[in-house]
């Protein structure tokens, strides 16, 4: 009889140091009564550090590049030393040396395609973490096989946000992973990365490892996926902004998609669809208390409105634009605005229009004001307002609305039957600081 298949995803925080890796190995050992595919992110904040290294490369700052690369190498070797003590694993050490030689050589890369180059550097985080974990599992007498996700997860060449080629990916996972599971191997692979048709490495977008777990689960028709986190499950608000968070025991795939769409950061937004398509339940559990129940995300919807959820997005900028010739905002100029906005690659968090003005909210990052200005200023008067926050309440009532809007100026609000959204400013900093570009 074939065994159940589980896909586990361990994020950066769950493998941030040697103790964390020991804990991961223990969780794996506790679940070896089923087939396991383990999808792992880069250790701790490694992806951010690799991005810093990438920026040093872009800025042609060799000394920052060298210094940051050396620090990252030391970080990984420290973890290895703490894991293996005075019985070092030469093969692993050799591997890490080679990867860092490749990272050092990266400085000589000559290409103008920043996204392509990014994808050739940043995945080292996942490659390093999975190598370390694989060798540690072997050392702990767990039959682990290291699988290069780039052989299985096939994508287009849309670097930094690649789209999965599902038929090819499913076929590769069947060919490469299923035989390993049959031999009772624990398969350890990387989140976040894949490869294009020409075999160049691609990535699925920041925080994309959850999605990788969903992809593997879909392809092998797993019985369940568990995302191991440093929180007890999915909470009804981010504990950074909220004191009395409540754990959601059970929500539907649909609700999880809604929450991640509005910005809840617990699960990568693309993760749910493949699981929903094959009806594979997803658990979000604590790696600190692995025996506790966590949250289950599955098909049934009856508990979705049991607890209101709050999603906060800080540091928002609200743009209001008006056609310079005072023409009405109708389909024609709206489509012109959308076309121009889509070229900036910036994402609209909420929007609204009136007869003469169109307002939209964006994350205030990457010179967004400049980008919007140059995209629109020829034809439109562009005004903007910074220092705002967007609050979304799922399953709201008056009490929850009063709670989030208390002592705030409401600049924009939208309500449906299940969702209320507010763009809020501090009473002093809102409308009176409106700027025109
Ligand atoms: N390491 C990647 C990131 O930090 C992918 C992931 O962790 O999901 O974005």
- Token reading at 400: 């929850």
Of 214, 206, 256, the C-alpha closest to 235 is 256
Q: What pLDDT is stored for residue 330 in this prediction?
A: 85
Of 51, 56, 70, the C-alpha closest to 122 is 51
**How many whole angstroms from 204 Cα to the centroid of ligand 1?**
9
Q: What pLDDT is stored for residue 432 in this prediction?
A: 40
Q: How far apart are CA 185 and CA 137, in angstroms?
A: 11
Nearest-atom number in ligand 1 for the CA of 208 is: 8
CB distance 176 to 152 below 8 Å: yes
CB distance 79 to 18 below 8 Å: yes
Mutate to test the pocket of ligand 1, among 130, 205, 207 (most ligand atoms within 8 A of CB): 207
Counting beta carbons within 10 angstroms of the beta carbon of residue 159, is it exposed (0 to 12), middle (13 to 18) or buried (19 or more)? buried
Nearest-atom number in ligand 1 for the CA of 209 is: 8
Sign of torsion over alpha carbons 330, 336, 342, 347: negative
Per residue, what are the HEC states of 297-355?
EECCCCCCCCCCEEEEEEEEEEEEEEECCCCCCCHHHHHHHHHHHHHHCCCCCEEEECC
Phi–psi pair at 162, nearest 5 degrees: -70, 150
Q: What pLDDT is stored for residue 399 in this prediction?
A: 95
**How many whole angstroms from 276 Cα to the centroid of ligand 1?**
22
- Token reading at 125: 């985080």
Report the topology of domain 5-229.
Carbamate kinase (3.40.1160)
The ranges assigned to domains in the chain are: 5-229, 309-436
CA-CA distances (angstroms) from residue 80 to 21, 22, 73, 133, 204? 10, 11, 11, 9, 28
Q: Does domain 309-436 have CATH number 3.40.50.1970?
A: no
Q: What pLDDT is stored for residue 427 in this prediction?
A: 64
**Please, which residues have CB within 8 angstroms of residue 233's CB and are 6 or more apart in sequence?**
247, 248, 249, 284, 285, 286, 293, 294, 295
Residue nearest (by alpha carbon) to ligand 1 atom 3: 207
Q: What pLDDT is stored for residue 430 in this prediction?
A: 47
Residue nearest (by alpha carbon) to ligand 1 atom 2: 207
Residue nearest (by alpha carbon) to ligand 1 atom 8: 207
Residue 37 DSSP SS3: strand
**How many whole angstroms from 41 Cα to the centroid of ligand 1?**
6
Shared fold status for 5-229 and 309-436: no
**How many whole angstroms from 268 Cα to the centroid of ligand 1?**
10
CB distance 369 to 437 below 8 Å: yes
CB distance 137 to 51 below 8 Å: no
Phi–psi pair at 279, nearest 5 degrees: 55, 50
Residues with beta carbon inside 6 Å of ligand 1? 11-12, 41-42, 47, 125, 191-192, 206-209
Residue nearest (by alpha carbon) to ligand 1 atom 5: 207
**How many whole angstroms from 191 Cα to the centroid of ligand 1?**
7
Q: How far apart are CA 431 and CA 427, in angstroms?
A: 9
pLDDT per residue as tens, the chain (437 positions): 689 999 999 999 999 999 999 999 999 999 999 999 999 999 999 999 999 999 999 999 999 999 999 999 999 999 999 999 988 899 999 999 999 999 999 999 988 899 999 999 999 999 999 999 999 999 999 999 999 999 999 999 999 999 999 999 999 999 999 999 999 999 999 999 999 999 999 999 999 999 999 999 999 999 999 999 999 999 999 888 888 899 999 999 999 999 988 888 778 889 999 999 999 999 999 999 999 999 999 999 998 999 999 999 999 999 999 999 888 888 888 999 999 999 988 899 999 999 889 999 999 998 999 999 999 999 999 999 999 999 999 999 999 999 999 999 999 999 999 999 999 998 655 444 566 76
Q: What pLDDT is stored for residue 243 in this prediction?
A: 83
Angle, alpha carbons 116-132-5 (nearest 5°) = 85
**Please, which residues have CB within 8 angstroms of residue 40's CB and are 6 or more apart in sequence?**
9, 10, 15, 126, 129, 130, 133, 188, 189, 190, 191, 209
Q: What pLDDT is stored for residue 431 in this prediction?
A: 45
What pTM, to 2 d.p., does this model score?
Answer: 0.91
Q: How far apart are CA 435 and CA 159, in angstroms?
A: 35
Mutate to test the pocket of ligand 1, among 44, 129, 191, 268 (most ligand atoms within 8 A of CB): 191
**How many whole angstroms from 1 Cα to the centroid of ligand 1?**
36
The one-character DSSP state at 269 is G
Mutate to test the pocket of ligand 1, among 208, 229, 269 (most ligand atoms within 8 A of CB): 208
Mutate to test the pocket of ligand 1, among 42, 52, 160, 201 (most ligand atoms within 8 A of CB): 42
CB distance 199 to 259 below 8 Å: no
| Residue where the block lists tokens 């929180």 | 231
Q: How far apart are CA 260 and CA 267, in angstroms?
A: 7
| Residue where the block lists tokens 């056609």 | 323
Q: What are the start-end ranges of the H helices in 107-234?
A: 114-121, 124-139, 149-152, 166-176, 178-182, 209-220
Mutate to test the pocket of ligand 1, among 13, 20, 41 (most ligand atoms within 8 A of CB): 41
**How many whole angstroms from 48 Cα to the centroid of ligand 1?**
9
Q: How far apart are CA 315 and CA 20, in angstroms?
A: 32
């Amino acid at each position: 009889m074939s065994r159940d298949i589980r896909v586990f995803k361990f994020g950066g925080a769950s493998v941030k140091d040697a103790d964390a890796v020991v804990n991961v190995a223990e969780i794996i050992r506790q679940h070896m009564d089923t087939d396991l595919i383990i999808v792992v992110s880069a250790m701790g904040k490694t992806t951010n550090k690799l991005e810093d290294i990438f920026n040093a490369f872009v800025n042609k700052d060799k000394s920052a590049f060298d210094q940051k690369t050396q620090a990252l190498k030391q970080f990984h070797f420290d973890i290895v030393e703490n894991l293996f003590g005075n019985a070092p694993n030469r093969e692993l050490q050799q591997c890490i040396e080679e990867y860092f030689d490749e990272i050092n050589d990266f400085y000589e890369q000559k290409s103008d395609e920043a996204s392509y180059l990014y994808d050739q550097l940043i995945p080292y985080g996942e490659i390093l973490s999975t190598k370390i974990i694989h060798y540690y599992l072997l050392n702990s007498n767990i039959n682990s096989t290291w699988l290069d996700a780039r052989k299985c997860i096939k994508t287009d060449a849309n670097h930094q946000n690649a789209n999965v080629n599902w038929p090819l990916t499913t076929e590769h996972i069947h060919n490469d992973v299923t035989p390993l599971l049959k031999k009772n191997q624990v398969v350890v692979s990387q989140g976040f990365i894949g490869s294009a048709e020409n075999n160049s490495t691609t990535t699925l977008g920041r925080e994309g490892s959850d999605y990788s777990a969903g992809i593997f689960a879909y392809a092998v028709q797993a019985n369940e996926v568990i995302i191991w986190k440093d929180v007890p499950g999915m909470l009804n608000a981010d504990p950074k902004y909220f004191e009395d968070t409540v754990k959601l025991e059970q929500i539907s795939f649909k609700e999880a998609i809604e929450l991640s769409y509005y910005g809840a950061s617990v699960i990568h937004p693309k993760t749910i669809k493949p699981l929903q398509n094959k009806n594979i339940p997803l658990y979000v559990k604590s790696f600190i208390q692995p025996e506790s129940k966590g949250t289950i995300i599955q098909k049934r919807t009856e508990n979705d409105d049991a607890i209101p959820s709050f999603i906060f997005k800080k540091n928002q900028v609200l743009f209001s634009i008006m056609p310079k010739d005072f023409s009405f905002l109708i389909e024609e100029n709206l489509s012109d605005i959308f076309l121009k906005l889509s070229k900036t690659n910036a994402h609209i968090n909420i929007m609204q229009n009136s007869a003469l003005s169109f307002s939209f909210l964006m994350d205030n990052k990457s010179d967004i004001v400049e980008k919007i200005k140059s995209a629109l200023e020829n034809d439109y008067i562009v005004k903007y307002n910074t220092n705002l926050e967007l609050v979304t309440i799922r399953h709201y009532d008056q009490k929850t609305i009063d709670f989030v809007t208390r002592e705030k100026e409401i600049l924009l609000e939208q309500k449906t039957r299940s969702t209320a959204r507010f763009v809020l400013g501090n009473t002093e900093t809102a409308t009176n600081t409106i700027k025109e570009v």
